[in-house]
């Protein structure tokens, strides 16, 4: 069954001009794009998106980082999209990132890790709803 997932290209990767590289990797791995959006997080949007991390030690640093520059949001679709995208982006921990993953190639650290991908179908629906609201994101193919 085809699934949708959300990928965010974070401010560090945007600043370092990796948008095209990351999009190419997605296309080479047969992800179909349903929507793409360039935007900047404000505090309210960042707090809503990262609500599950509220109260954690890294929360304020994460919000400040995500508000520091533009972000690219992409809704992708394919069979098993959520897990395949998670595998493709790689681990948040630099010590165990696999070569060839997006984070191995482009991340600068743990918070400055180039990309975010939804961790479940439920999270994908929630996150897509927050970023894309009521916009038409259905593929017709």
Question: How do residues 84-97 score in pLDDT, each as one tens digit?
Answer: 999 999 999 999 99
Within-domain flag for 15: yes
Within-domain flag for 140: no
Number of compact structural domains in the chain: 1
Which 3 state secondary structure label does DSSP give 134? coil
Question: pTM for this structure?
Answer: 0.93
Active site residue 32: no
Instruction: Flag residues of the chain having pLDDT under 50.
Output: none
Domain that holds residue 116: 2-132
Q: What is the CATH number of the domain that holds 98?
A: 3.30.70.141
Residue 52 has what pLDDT?
93
Residue 111 has what pLDDT?
86
Within-domain flag for 141: no
Q: What are phi and psi of 26, to 5 degrees?
A: -60, -45
Residue 135 has what pLDDT?
55
Within-domain flag for 56: yes
Within-domain flag for 137: no
Residue 137 has what pLDDT?
58
Catalytic residue among 18, 21, 53, 116: 116
Within-domain flag for 138: no
């Amino acid at each position: 069954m085809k699934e949708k997932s959300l990928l965010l290209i974070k401010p560090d990767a945007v600043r370092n001009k990796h948008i095209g590289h990351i999009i190419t990797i997605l296309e080479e791995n047969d992800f179909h794009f349903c929507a793409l959006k360039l935007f900047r997080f404000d505090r309210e949007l960042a707090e809503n998106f990262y609500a599950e991390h509220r109260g954690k030690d890294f929360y304020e640093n994460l919000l400040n980082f995500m508000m520091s520059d533009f972000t690219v949001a992409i809704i992708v679709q394919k069979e098993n999209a959520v897990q395949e995208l998670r595998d493709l982006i790689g681990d948040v921990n630099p010590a165990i990132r696999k070569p060839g993953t997006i984070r191995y190639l482009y991340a600068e650290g743990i918070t400055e890790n180039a990309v975010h991908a939804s961790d479940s179908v439920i999270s994908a629906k929630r996150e897509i709803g927050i970023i894309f609201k009521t916009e038409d994101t259905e593929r017709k193919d």
